[in-house]
């Protein structure tokens, strides 16, 4: 893989270009400096995003997204890397998600149990998939796609994600292009 293709490949998550648009590969859209539309480092927001992340990628036989401090990671990424417009969508998405929970179960997301959370986020993911499918480039991004993307990126590139959920060897030392694989073996982290 040459460097150009390798980077391009990383620029895709969930089969599409990463939100934040200019995260890995740039379009040429003008950007206003992101001053930060909200403080996403507040403990209650971090805790909320931790639970969203953990619902998307829960602990199974390996650690889940919370173990990778996913709430904190999402806050950093949204604040530093998202355009102001995307930051606003993300922030509003936190209350939208709560509202969706209220509507479905009559309680906020944090009060819902694990099964309900999974049910809710499954529905939201179906919603964002349907929306993204027909979305024009200039249409706003869907907040749940942001949360899912950031959860995947943050978890699988974290230490627990890369070394426990996946396999990671810092210095392979050799290359074998005919390495045996059997179902259940983990993928390489990078």
Residues numbered 71 to 110 that lie near another protein (CB under 8 A) are 76-77, 80-83
CB 34 within 8 A of CB 79: yes
Q: Which is nearer to another protein, 10 or 102 (CB)?
A: 10
Of 43-51, 55-63, 89-97, 104-112, which part binds another protein (CB under 8 A)? 55-63
Interaction of residue 136 with another protein, rule CB under 8 A: no
Question: Among 26, 95, 111, 130, which residue sits at the site for another protein (rule: CB under 8 A)?
Answer: 26
Q: Which is nearer to another protein, 104 or 129 (CB)?
A: 129
Helix (H, G, I), strand (E, B), or coil: what is residue 127?
Answer: helix
CB of 129: closest distance to another protein in angstroms? 8
Of 43-51, 90-98, 99-107, 167-175, which part binds another protein (CB under 8 A)? 167-175
* Side-chain half-sphere exposure of 169, counting CA atoms within 13 A: 8
Phi, psi at 66, each rounded to 5° = -60, -35
16: part of which helix (H) or strand (E)? strand 16-17
Interaction of residue 176 with another protein, rule CB under 8 A: yes
Residue 81: closest CA among 31, 15, 41: 31
DSSP class of 142:
P
Question: Among 6, 47, 110, 130, which residue sits at the site for another protein (rule: CB under 8 A)?
Answer: 6
Interaction of residue 41 with another protein, rule CB under 8 A: no
CB 110 within 8 A of CB 48: yes
């Amino acid at each position: 893989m040459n460097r150009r293709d390798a980077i391009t490949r990383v620029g895709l998550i969930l089969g599409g270009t990463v939100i934040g648009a200019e995260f890995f590969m740039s379009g040429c859209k003008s950007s206003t400096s992101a001053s930060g539309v909200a403080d996403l480092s507040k403990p209650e927001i971090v805790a909320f995003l931790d639970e969203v992340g953990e619902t998307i990628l829960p602990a199974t036989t390996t650690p889940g997204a919370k173990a990778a401090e996913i709430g904190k990671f999402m806050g950093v990424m949204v604040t530093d890397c998202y355009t102001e417009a995307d930051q606003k969508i993300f922030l509003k998405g936190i209350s939208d998600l709560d509202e969706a929970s209220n509507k479905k179960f009559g309680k906020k997301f944090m009060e819902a149990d694990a099964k309900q959370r999974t049910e809710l986020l499954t529905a939201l993911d179906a919603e964002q998939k349907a929306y993204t499918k027909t979305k024009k480039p200039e249409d706003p991004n869907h907040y749940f796609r942001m949360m899912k993307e950031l959860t995947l990126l943050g978890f699988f590139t974290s230490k627990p994600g890369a070394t426990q959920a996946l396999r990671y060897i810092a210095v392979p030392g050799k290359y074998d292009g005919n390495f045996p694989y059997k179902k259940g073996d983990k993928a390489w982290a990078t």
